[in-house]
Amino acid sequence: MAVIEVTNLHKRYGETVAVDDVSFAVEEGEIFGILGPNGAGKTTTVECVAGLRAPDRGTVTVLGRDPQRDAAELRQRVGVQLQESRLPDKLKVAEAMDLYSSFYRRPADWNTLLESLGVADKRGTQFRKLSGGQKQRLSIALALVGSPAVAVLDELTTGLDPQARRDTWDLIEQVRDSGITIVLVTHFMDEAERLCDRIALVDSGRVAALDTPAGLVARAAEEQRVRFRPSVSLDDGLLADLPEVTRVERAGRQVVVTGTGNLLHAITSVLARNHIIAEELRVEQTSLDDAFVALTGRRFDDEEGK
């Protein structure tokens, strides 16, 4: 049964199109990832799902209801953790949990919740004194305190150190195992690859691909990448003209060639004919990063200006 159905969602702010045309369905009990670079329209999409924004076109259904018309009912049953949502600096953890649990018809036992999230010993601590990881755990706890059927978690691990990120991932899996359907918004490939049952790859307001992490990688698998440092300067055109090659890029003094078929052989033949030696030659395996490039035709981190 689809818990969330988004069909041809379109949302613009003035002249800026935030979401062009997005459709997907989230099944009960899965971790559904919405993955894409910054500015791809991920947050706007989940804000429409959470009922915070009205779509300009298209339909959104959550638990069989319209987030705009049945906002009151859905706010009881959908837990949301939005990015950059803090709490008052001097509010204590227990006070926050007690307050937010009073908002719901059937609140979870928040003491148990804090224990399972590993922040039970912080009950008397003010929000400003919590570490980044503890703040995120509290945020998750607040999203879950109403015993929701669906939890929407936006950019959960941004700004966390690697250990805290891994701990948070374990938590999300625990939450899913307790029967809550999770929509996870992220711009981290490794996070999506590790956690999600299925991923919608969003780029420029559209779904570029929707599959399991393995499925997405497999789609891009016919693409390979060869990386080397030429012994003398090399004209990119020599390689770009090859039928096997789809793209030639430079990474410092290294040349990175992406392509299909017998790519390695094609490259080494051309180099040999031109008496160029390929030093530090490596053939790279496909990752979700490559899948993104293959499926959208551009680098994942383009929009972050890297």
Partner 1 sequence: MSTLVKLTAVEGRLFLREPMAVIFGVVFPTILLLGMGAIPVLREPSPDFGGARFVEFWAPSALVLGLGILGVQHIPATIATYRENGILRRMSTTPVHPGKVLAAQLIVALAAAAAAAGLLVVAAWLVLDVPLPEHPWWFTLAFVVGYGALLAIGILIAAVTPNVRTANGFAMLAYMAFMFLGGVFLPRFTLPDVVVRIGDYTPPGVQALLDAWFGDTGAATAVGVETAGPPQLAQLAIMALIAVAAGAVAAKLFRWE
* Residues that bind partner 1 in the complex, under the rule CB under 8 A: 50, 52, 72, 75-76, 78-80, 82, 84-88, 90-91, 95, 99-100, 102-105, 142, 146
> Between residues 143 and 245, which has the closer beta carbon with respect to partner 1?
143
Terminal Cα-to-Cα distance of the chain (whole angstroms): 41
CA angle 302, 34, 45 (to 5 degrees): 95
Q: What is the closest distance, in whole angstroms, from the C-beta atom of residue 236 to partner 1 in the complex?
A: 46
Query: Which residue type, as a one-letter code, is found at position 238?
Result: L
Least CB distance to partner 1 at residue 84 (A): 5
For partner 1, give the closer residue by CB, 56 or 95: 95
Q: In the bound complex, what is the minimum distance in angstroms from residue 32's beta carbon to partner 1? A: 18
Report the alpha-carbon distance of residue 277 to residue 92 in Å, rounded. 64
Considering the complex, state which of residue 55 and residue 230 has its C-beta at the smaller distance from partner 1: 55
Please report how close the Cβ of residue 173 comes to partner 1 at its closest, in angstroms. 23
Helix, strand, coil percentages (3-state) for the chain, rounded to 5, are 35, 30, 35
Q: How deeply is 123 buried, as exposed, middle or buried, from its count of CB atoms within 10 A (0-12, 13-18, 19+)?
A: middle
- Based on CB atoms, which residue is closest to partner 1, 26 or 293? 26
State in angstroms the smallest separation of the CB of 176 from partner 1.
Answer: 20
**Nearer to partner 1 by C-beta: 132 or 261?**
132
| Beta strand extents in 63-129 (DSSP E only) | 78-81
Based on its alpha-carbon atoms, the radius of gyration of the chain, rounded to whole angstroms, reads 23
